[in-house]
Chains A and B, each alone.
Chain A
């Protein structure tokens, strides 16, 4: 049975006496003095016995004084070294675990402390400091694709007692558990989920899983955050993936161009349709207006005509004929009396007027033609006058 089983501290073999010695300097001095005395007598006796047989009394006392002084000095030095070693500070970011005779004694908070080796053992760890474990690996997804994922795990020591006492290699535990958790989560996801929107949720899931593992192992580690930093297709297939991205852009571009075409064609068609309708409206309105105008004009004329039919009719007729004949070229032919063998160079008749219209300056030739025709016609007329009774006249404007 153990001496110092829980609750049985009084059975400590060093007991109260030991505590008492350690408690006060006077007791310690006293004990040291006693020990020194004993040692003095021992060494002094040995020396006197070995070296000088006769002159024992005086020599003994003298040597005992100097060696005891040296011995005290050594002991004080040793005590100082012990104290120096036993006093330690725990930083704000640290905690220390003290085992007394192998049993857990206490967890030490920041500050100045002392412990007593070899009866106590101290394990001092940085607990609040966030540590990072980075990982970048290729792994299989649920749909048997391979992705390359890099992840960082931020953790610290949550429970220093567990960290120190429970697990042989807590950090290796964490690293292996990280790999396992990440691969588990990635292996339960489809590739596209991993590569695209799944990263945030995957990080949360990996963290939860990893923390569960740590709790099960009792490493005392606390996983603060798991970042899935990048998830990429492996470089062997990167080109194909890039091509998919390009293809998406191509798709969008084709669609945009078609949209541009549609945006051009349809509004233009609407514009043309508008024009068509407006023209039709214009046609209708014009036609109606003209009809109204013409009808009105006719009715007004008709009312005057009804008052004096013959005069109006005659006047209208004459005015029209005047207007008509005033602008046209005309040839008067007495068909009844004359013979029908009459030559009219109609094409030539047209020419001078056309030439005269198109180019005023170059009318020389046409004037000549004109006079030729005139001469011909005059000749013909003269011939007729002389042969028959009536004459025929020809005028050009």
Chain B
């Protein structure tokens, strides 16, 4: 009984070990190939539970998720020979597991190196055909799509990977160029500031001149109107006088002269040197008046 039990248990254990080593699980995150003595017998093993022959079959498992490859900073020249420092990244995933295994022996690092080398040469060509402005602004999407597509076709054939996206992260100017950009920006701002100040003075001068003009025009108009009004008064007064005095000019001359005398000699400072035989002194020397 005990010997029998022992052997049964032993068999059970061995069976367990064999079962354990003959079964393997591929997760949703992974893909695998199955090799038999180095020969590829099963390609692109899907997620799930699988069996293999222990010690004979060898399973190589790869990360099937989207991989992120940071391409190190590279210095490129644009069409107008401006240097730019470009950081980019590549998103790729394993597409054809067997091809991938053959091309890279399943080494992600190796795959990354191959991809980034290929991407770099393509980007260098593209950047060399575009101006800095085109690279930085409008053309960026188109540029990246072209590089992605080109890289993708090559990578699929050679490496068995799909390139989902190639994207420029940074496009920066080298530090010494940055300095000159800063200087240009500063000088542009100086220009702008000067323009504002001068515009201010211009406007101020304009406003002042306008005000001065308005003042003079107002005053001149007022003078004109005032003179016209005064003229009116003069004319009207002259008319009134003439109308009245026309009736007896001689008497008018008489009364007016008297009035004038009265006004002319109205202060004690005036000294009159008189002849005694003037009309007024008729009776001064002679009471008969003759």
Judge whether A333 and B271 touch: CB under 8 Å. no
Which candidate, A73-81, A271-279, A379-387, is the interface stretch facing chain B?
A: A271-279
| With A39-B9, A217-B66, A251-B203: A317-B258 Cβ-Cβ less than 8 Å | yes
Q: State the Cβ distance, A53 to closest chain B Cβ, in Å.
A: 14
Judge whether B207 and A3 touch: CB under 8 Å. no
In the complex, A44 has a CB within 8 A of chain B: yes
Judge whether A295 and B211 touch: CB under 8 Å. no
For residue B270, which residues in chain A have a CB less than 8 angstroms away from its CB? 327-329
In the complex, B40 has a CB within 8 A of chain A: no
In the complex, A229 has a CB within 8 A of chain B: no
Q: With the chains together, A255 CA to B202 CA distance in Å?
A: 9
Query: In the complex, which of the residues B211, B223, B265 contacts A324, with contact meaning CB atoms closer than 8 Å?
Result: B265
Query: Which residue of B has the minimal Cβ distance to A1?
Result: B50
For residue A335, which residues in chain B have a CB less than 8 angstroms away from its CB? 275
In the complex, A71 has a CB within 8 A of chain B: no
In the complex, A92 has a CB within 8 A of chain B: no
For residue A246, which residues in chain B have a CB less than 8 angstroms away from its CB? 193
Q: State the Cβ distance, A255 to closest chain B Cβ, in Å.
A: 5
In the complex, A378 has a CB within 8 A of chain B: no
Judge whether A334 and B208 touch: CB under 8 Å. no
Judge whether B271 and A251 touch: CB under 8 Å. no
Secondary structure of the B side of the interface? helix
Interface 1/0 per residue, A302-343 and B, CB below 8 Å:
100110000001001110110111011111111110000000
Q: With the chains together, A155 CA to B85 CA distance in Å?
A: 29
Query: In the complex, which of the residues A172, A236, A291, A397 contacts B268, with contact meaning CB atoms closer than 8 Å?
Result: A397
Judge whether B200 and A255 touch: CB under 8 Å. yes
For residue B194, which residues in chain A have a CB less than 8 angstroms away from its CB? 247
Query: Which residue of B has the minimal Cβ distance to A281?
Result: B229
In the complex, B170 has a CB within 8 A of chain A: yes
Q: State the Cβ distance, A63 to closest chain B Cβ, in Å.
A: 13
Judge whether B68 and A5 touch: CB under 8 Å. no
Judge whether A288 and B236 touch: CB under 8 Å. yes
In the complex, A129 has a CB within 8 A of chain B: no
For residue A173, which residues in chain B have a CB less than 8 angstroms away from its CB? 66, 68, 91
In the complex, A253 has a CB within 8 A of chain B: yes
Q: State the Cβ distance, A259 to closest chain B Cβ, in Å.
A: 6
Interface 1/0 per residue, A265-287 and B, CB below 8 Å:
11011101110110111011111
Instruction: Assign chain B's interface to a size class.
Output: 35 or more
Q: With the chains together, A42 CA to B2 CA distance in Å?
A: 5
For residue A167, which residues in chain B have a CB less than 8 angstroms away from its CB? 65-66, 68
> What's the tally of chain A residues with a CB closer than 8 Å to chain B?
132
Which candidate, B116-124, B152-160, B247-255, is the interface stretch facing chain A?
A: B247-255
Of B170, B185, B261, B271, most A-chain CB atoms within 10 Å: B185
Judge whether A45 and B5 touch: CB under 8 Å. yes
Query: In the complex, which of the residues A184, A269, A328, A344 contacts B272, with contact meaning CB atoms closer than 8 Å?
Result: A328
Interface 1/0 per residue, B59-92 and A, CB below 8 Å:
0000101111010000000000000000001010
In the complex, A198 has a CB within 8 A of chain B: no
Judge whether B189 and A102 touch: CB under 8 Å. no
Judge whether A316 and B201 touch: CB under 8 Å. no
Q: State the Cβ distance, B130 to closest chain A Cβ, in Å.
A: 13
Judge whether B207 and A258 touch: CB under 8 Å. yes
| With A287-B234, A329-B268: A251-B197 Cβ-Cβ less than 8 Å | yes
In the complex, chain B residues 16-42 whose Cβ is within 8 Å of any chain A Cβ? 23, 25-30
For residue A332, which residues in chain B have a CB less than 8 angstroms away from its CB? 274-276, 281
Interface 1/0 per residue, B219-237 and A, CB below 8 Å:
1011101111110111011
Q: With the chains together, A334 CA to B169 CA distance in Å?
A: 127
For residue B5, which residues in chain A have a CB less than 8 angstroms away from its CB? 38, 41-42, 45
| With A169-B68, A251-B197: A295-B240 Cβ-Cβ less than 8 Å | yes
In the complex, A241 has a CB within 8 A of chain B: yes
Judge whether A298 and B245 touch: CB under 8 Å. yes
In the complex, B190 has a CB within 8 A of chain A: yes
Query: In the complex, which of the residues A241, A333, A346 contacts B275, with contact meaning CB atoms closer than 8 Å?
Result: A333
In the complex, B176 has a CB within 8 A of chain A: no
Q: With the chains together, A346 CA to B13 CA distance in Å?
A: 163
Q: With the chains together, A37 CA to B239 CA distance in Å?
A: 154
In the complex, chain B residues 160-180 whose Cβ is within 8 Å of any chain A Cβ? 164-165, 167-173, 178-179
Query: In the complex, which of the residues B66, B201, B204, B262 contacts A166, with contact meaning CB atoms closer than 8 Å?
Result: B66
Q: State the Cβ distance, B254 to closest chain A Cβ, in Å.
A: 7
Judge whether A216 and B164 touch: CB under 8 Å. yes
In the complex, A88 has a CB within 8 A of chain B: no
In the complex, B51 has a CB within 8 A of chain A: yes
Judge whether B241 and A291 touch: CB under 8 Å. yes
Judge whether A279 and B226 touch: CB under 8 Å. yes
In the complex, B136 has a CB within 8 A of chain A: yes
Which candidate, A25-33, A142-150, A360-368, is the interface stretch facing chain B?
A: A142-150
For residue A296, which residues in chain B have a CB less than 8 angstroms away from its CB? 244
In the complex, A204 has a CB within 8 A of chain B: no
In the complex, A90 has a CB within 8 A of chain B: no
Q: With the chains together, A246 CA to B192 CA distance in Å?
A: 11
Judge whether B229 and A101 touch: CB under 8 Å. no
For residue B204, which residues in chain A have a CB less than 8 angstroms away from its CB? 254-255, 257-258
Query: In the complex, which of the residues A279, A290, A320 contacts B261, with contact meaning CB atoms closer than 8 Å?
Result: A320
Query: In the complex, which of the residues A251, A288, A324 contacts B240, with contact meaning CB atoms closer than 8 Å?
Result: A288
Judge whether B229 and A277 touch: CB under 8 Å. yes
Q: With the chains together, A213 CA to B48 CA distance in Å?
A: 30
Judge whether A287 and B236 touch: CB under 8 Å. yes
For residue A108, which residues in chain B have a CB less than 8 angstroms away from its CB? none
For residue B277, which residues in chain A have a CB less than 8 angstroms away from its CB? 334, 336
Q: A45-B1, A101-B48, A236-B182 are in contact. List 14 more A-B contacts (CB 8 A).
A: A2-B49, A46-B6, A48-B2, A102-B28, A139-B170, A167-B68, A247-B192, A262-B214, A294-B241, A298-B245, A317-B280, A329-B270, A332-B281, A333-B274
Between A and B, 11 residue pairs with Cβ closer than 8 Å are A99-B28, A102-B49, A177-B167, A184-B140, A234-B182, A251-B199, A272-B222, A276-B219, A287-B233, A288-B233, A329-B270
Which 4 A-B pairs have CB atoms at the shortest separation, nearest pair first?
A45-B2, A284-B233, A251-B200, A273-B222
